A and B are shown apart, each in its own frame.
Chain A
Amino acid sequence: MHFRPMAYLDPGSGSFLIQIAIAALLGLAVALRASWGKIKGWFGIKPKPEEDDDDDSDEK
């Protein structure tokens, strides 16, 4: 077992900041995906039916 000499330093701050950075990037991807769907829609390509997460779809 090793004790961190900086036991008073909470790793939570780093987790918080990295989450904001990753989420910003991924949020952008979600937005792009949504607008890409719209663009495809203009050309008559139907979007895939949205995943209905009210069923058991998580138990794949």
Chain B
Amino acid sequence: MTTTQTRNNSGQLSASFRDPSGFLFTRSGVLYRQINRAYEPEYARLMNSGLYEKLVKAGLLIPHAEVDEAAAEPDAVLKIIQPERVSFISYPYEWSFGQLKSAALATLSIQKRALKADMSLKDASAYNIQFVRGKAALIDTLSFELYNEGQPWVAYRQFCQHFLAPLALMALKDVRLSQLLRVYIDGVPLDLASELLPAKTRLNFGLLTHIHLHASAQKRYAGEDLKTRGGKLGVNRQAMLGLIESLESTITKLDWTPHGTQWGNYYEITNYSESAFEHKKQLVSEWTRRLQPGMVWDLGANTGVFSRLASETAAYVVSFDIDPAAVEQNYRQVKNEKTENLLPLLLDLTNPSPALGWAHRERESFGARGPADLVLALALIHHLAIANNVPLPQVANFLAEAGKWLVIEFVPKSDSQVQKLLASRSDIFPTYTRRGFEDAFQTRFNIHESVDIHQTERVLYLMEIR
């Protein structure tokens, strides 16, 4: 939902091209949604039944205003609405286990409430959920259809593929399997999930039915003509409720909590003394306050200590880290503290999220969602330049595209953390010095400040893009 997203001639955003009910478009940088006349009965029930109000009040649906704006496609228009803008669009392959679980439970909660208003979700796509003020919320106002008792849940398969299968794989096989969502844009195929899940998951009623038997049924009845076989069959309201509650309890019971050093003591394994850490905090805090940024990206954020500092003055902070355990811990803290302007996300900076989907236009790349006003790159440079062999000028170019201002920490070779990285590789980095670092970054940035961090050999810089 950002202005940079690809659009066609009439300003239509490409992520919503499949839906005949309406579409998103931008005009003068403002995001609108055209609702087509074909969607009139559904929209009327959503608004008049009290469902819209209930969902918005619970933070489960993004609020919108009906506006008097010219239609993008006047022939089809019913109404133009202006949805609240989402601060940062993120995708399920960037979420931690807990985030995907929250999104799944939000979807089921919406479906339960919709059924009470005789409506039902026609999509259960994880891409329709975004984190708004810290909570998982549906952003597609046109996802509802009229519910007629007897009809099955049309989004059941999609729900299993987008939520249940990846959550089960993450909890019971390996948390890194969330990355399957990057390959399979319509969710993890159930036959694949069934094959990958441990055999013991067949003893779990929810996983046995919704994944294993579901996958077998897909294979067995593929191409079956439902008019002859399932024509008279249906799902009554009670059965529908049973189905939703079964999905809900299956997902609620799935959990992922990493153990050992992977969890917890992040800042205890650094080589910082307490006063050095405090000094770094104080500088980050002071510079953020001075800049008053709208959007901050904290790259290599760990569990988000510095993201939290920045969020005190910044409008919004996205806190990226490569480690699923760090992102999970960060998200749990956001949830506990009800932080509204901090979004933890999983990201490998050496292979950031690409543009995906039809014609590369459905999901935006990491870079296309920027630039941020301020980028924090703390204790990061040695991971990019030494562990990943990226020459310093290229790191500078990358960061110059990511943000307008940069707070970056230089960690010299003599630092014990860098020594650890060099222990297993030959030192082919002759320019990795303070001088080499400044030369490389000065081609893209003006250095406003550079401060030696107390009791360390590290230096913290405040730079502005040239």
Contacts and interface: CB of A to CB of B under 8 A. Distances in A.
Interface stretch (B9-17, B89-97, B238-246, B416-424): B238-246
B221 A22 contact: no
Contact of A59 (B102, B112, B216): B102
B226 A30 contact: no
Contact of A26 (B108, B152, B157, B245): B245
Interface stretch (B67-75, B227-235, B285-293): B227-235
A23 to B, nearest CB: 4
A54 B58 contact: yes
A45 B86 CA distance: 48
A9 B217 CA distance: 13
Contacts of A11: 157, 190, 218-219, 222
Interface stretch (B207-215, B378-386, B435-443): B207-215
Interface residues of B, number: 49
A17 to B, nearest CB: 5
A9 B152 contact: no
Contacts, number: 119
Contacts of A22: 209-210, 213, 243, 246
A16 B105 contact: no
A3 B118 CA distance: 39
B217 A30 contact: no
A42 interface: no
Interface string B100-131: 00100110110011000000000000000000
A29 interface: yes
Interface in A1-23: 6, 8-20, 22-23
A19 B235 contact: yes
Nearest to B116: A53
B106 A58 contact: yes
B54 A6 contact: no
Contacts of A59: 102, 105, 135, 335
Residue among A22, A28, A54 with most chain B CB within 10 A: A22
B337 interface: no
Nearest to A34: B238
B107 to A, nearest CB: 10
B333 to A, nearest CB: 15
B220 interface: yes
B156 A19 contact: yes
A7 B109 CA distance: 34
Nearest to B209: A22
A13 B60 CA distance: 31
Nearest to B102: A59
B224 A53 contact: no
Given A14-B218, A14-B220, A17-B229, A23 B243 contact: yes
Contacts of A56: 58-59
Given A10-B222, A13-B226, A14-B217, A19 B243 contact: yes
A15 B157 contact: yes
Contacts of A20: 152, 230, 233-235
B153 interface: yes
B246 A26 contact: yes
Given A13-B222, A13-B224, A17-B224, A30 B152 contact: no
A47 B242 CA distance: 19
B221 A17 contact: yes
A41 interface: no
A31 B458 CA distance: 66
Contact of A31 (B157, B220, B238, B252): B238
A53 B113 contact: yes
B354 to A, nearest CB: 16
A39 interface: no
B243 A53 contact: no
A8 B223 contact: yes
Contact of A9 (B105, B222, B238, B246): B222
Given A13-B226, A17-B217, A29 B242 contact: yes
27 contacts: A9-B222, A10-B223, A11-B157, A13-B218, A13-B224, A14-B221, A15-B156, A16-B152, A16-B230, A17-B229, A19-B156, A20-B152, A20-B233, A20-B235, A23-B235, A23-B243, A26-B243, A26-B246, A27-B238, A27-B239, A28-B242, A30-B245, A31-B238, A54-B54, A54-B58, A58-B60, A59-B102
The 10 closest A-B pairs by CB, nearest first: A27-B239, A26-B242, A14-B218, A9-B222, A9-B223, A15-B157, A11-B218, A18-B217, A58-B109, A23-B239
Given A14-B217, A20-B230, A27-B241, 14 more contacts: A11-B157, A11-B222, A13-B223, A15-B217, A17-B230, A18-B217, A18-B218, A19-B152, A19-B153, A22-B243, A26-B243, A27-B235, A28-B242, A30-B238
